[in-house]
Amino acid sequence: MNFAGKVVLITGASSGIGAATAVKFAKYGACLALNGRNADNLKQVAEQCSAAGAAAPTLVIGDVSKEADTERVWQQTLQKYGKLDVLINNAGILESGTIENTSLEQYDRVMNTNLRAIYQLTMLATPELIKTKGNIVNVSSVNGIRSFPGVLAYNISKMGVDQLTRCVALELAAKGVRANCVNPGVTVTNLHKRGGMDETTYQKFLEHSKNTHALGRPGTTDEVANAIAFLASDLASFTTGLSLAVDG
Ligand code: NDP
């Protein structure tokens, strides 16, 4: 896998799947623009990327749920590199709630982060991706393929990500741009705890995931990053509009 000279923008690169993906693309020689809100965490990931052999990544700090921030993240990336080859929309949040207790405020927060931000960045990046015949990889979830109880807004947002991916894939195929998504199963990151799950419940959840995944364990961030890199690479040159389950 070789991304030498390729410009790759990764949102939500300051932890979990996004951080592992950044380090992987660094090993493959990519020029990286890394987004997140937490500058300290992002700097640590950038150091790991440099240690892996990449040129120092550009940090494009910002909250992608905010329109002005996303616009700035995009402009900074373009100003730095002058082109884009791969857009990886990974930033996401998980919040619990059903139709009986998910407020509109909570719904908007999840949708703006998990779906609207992807729409906006894709819209901004499309003209540049057409020039480079680049591609998009969106990080969805198994919740984008089927519904799970208790995470209503998250389910809706991720199903939207899969649909957006397929639509964009169809619309841009003739212009040489591919769009795919990965749909991870339970992956060991901070996502669930940041969503309010306490440590004891999280450990029980991981234990339970041994039964809900045929391979008998949750996934690792590196395993998801491998799938992202594959879809972004020329090895997947005849693959577009795919929802690739990485769910054991
Ligand atoms: P983490 O919480 O470890 O990482 C989430 C990343 O998203 C962080 O880098 C965070 O950065 C960033 N982020 C969140 N909100 C924003 C925002 N508004 N603006 C910019 N960045 C933001 O979780 P994961 O690595 O697990 O999550 C990555 C993706 O994987 C998500 O889309 C998630 O839905 C998906 N996923 C995860 C699964 C799992 O089991 N872990 C399963 C299926 C899908 P910062 O805090 O610096 O803003």
Render pLDDT for 118-141 as a digit per residue (tens, 0 to 9): 999 999 999 999 999 999 999 999
| 195 confidence band (pLDDT: 50, 70, 90) | very high
**Alpha-carbon span 6 to 24, nearest angstrom:** 13
Q: Does any ligand 1 atom lie closer than 6 A to the CB of residue 93?
A: yes
Ligand 1 centroid from CA 82, angstroms: 27
Strand 31-36 to 58-61 pairing:
parallel
Q: Which atom of ligand 1 is nearest to the CA of 154?
A: 34
pLDDT digits (tens, 9 = 90+) for 178-187: 999 999 999 9
Give yes or no: 81 in active site: no
The tally of domains found in the chain comes to: 1
Q: Domain of 138?
A: 7-246
Structural domain includes residue 1: no
Structural domain includes residue 198: yes
Q: How many Cα atoms are found within 13 Å in the side-chain-facing hemisphere of 206?
A: 16
pLDDT for 26 equals 97
**Alpha-carbon span 10 to 245, nearest angstrom:** 20
Q: Which atom of ligand 1 is nearest to the CA of 13?
A: 9
Residue owning the nearest CA to atom 25 of ligand 1: 16
pLDDT for 53 equals 83
Judged against a pLDDT cut of 90, whether residue 54 lies above it is answered with no
ipTM value > 0.95: yes
Q: Considering the chain, what percentage of its residues have pLDDT values greater than 90?
A: 98
pLDDT digits (tens, 9 = 90+) for 97-109: 999 999 999 999 9
Decide: helix, strand or coil at residue 74. helix
Q: What are phi and psi of 135, to 5 degrees?
A: -150, 165
| 9 confidence band (pLDDT: 50, 70, 90) | very high
Mutate to test the pocket of ligand 1, among 191, 194, 209 (most ligand atoms within 8 A of CB): 191
- From 28, 119, 154, 202, active-site residue: 154
Q: Does any ligand 1 atom lie closer than 6 A to the CB of residue 43?
A: no
Structural domain includes residue 162: yes
Q: What are phi and psi of 183, to 5 degrees?
A: -125, 85
Show the DSSP H helices in 52-144 as ranges: 67-81, 104-111, 117-132
Structural domain includes residue 31: yes
Structural domain includes residue 2: no
Q: Which atom of ligand 1 is nearest to the CA of 187?
A: 40
Structural domain includes residue 163: yes
pLDDT for 205 equals 94
pLDDT digits (tens, 9 = 90+) for 225-238: 999 999 999 999 99
Instruction: Report the pLDDT averaged over residues 70-81.
Output: 98
| Burial degree of 233 (CB within 10 A; 0-12, 13-18, 19+) | middle
Structural domain includes residue 187: yes
Ligand 1 centroid from CA 83, angstroms: 25
Decide: helix, strand or coil at residue 226. helix
Instruction: Report the pLDDT averaged over residues 16-43.
Output: 98
Structural domain includes residue 57: yes
Mean pLDDT (the chain) is 97
**Alpha-carbon span 158 to 92, nearest angstrom:** 10
pLDDT digits (tens, 9 = 90+) for 144-179: 999 999 999 999 999 999 999 999 999 999 999 999
State the CATH number of the domain containing residue 227: 3.40.50.720
| 115 confidence band (pLDDT: 50, 70, 90) | very high
Ligand 1 centroid from CA 92, angstroms: 4
Ligand 1 centroid from CA 237, angstroms: 27
**Alpha-carbon span 25 to 43, nearest angstrom:** 16
User: Is residue 76 within 8 Å of 60, Cβ to Cβ?
Assistant: yes
Residue located via tokens 């990931």: 45
User: Which residue(s) pair with 70 in the sheet?
Assistant: none
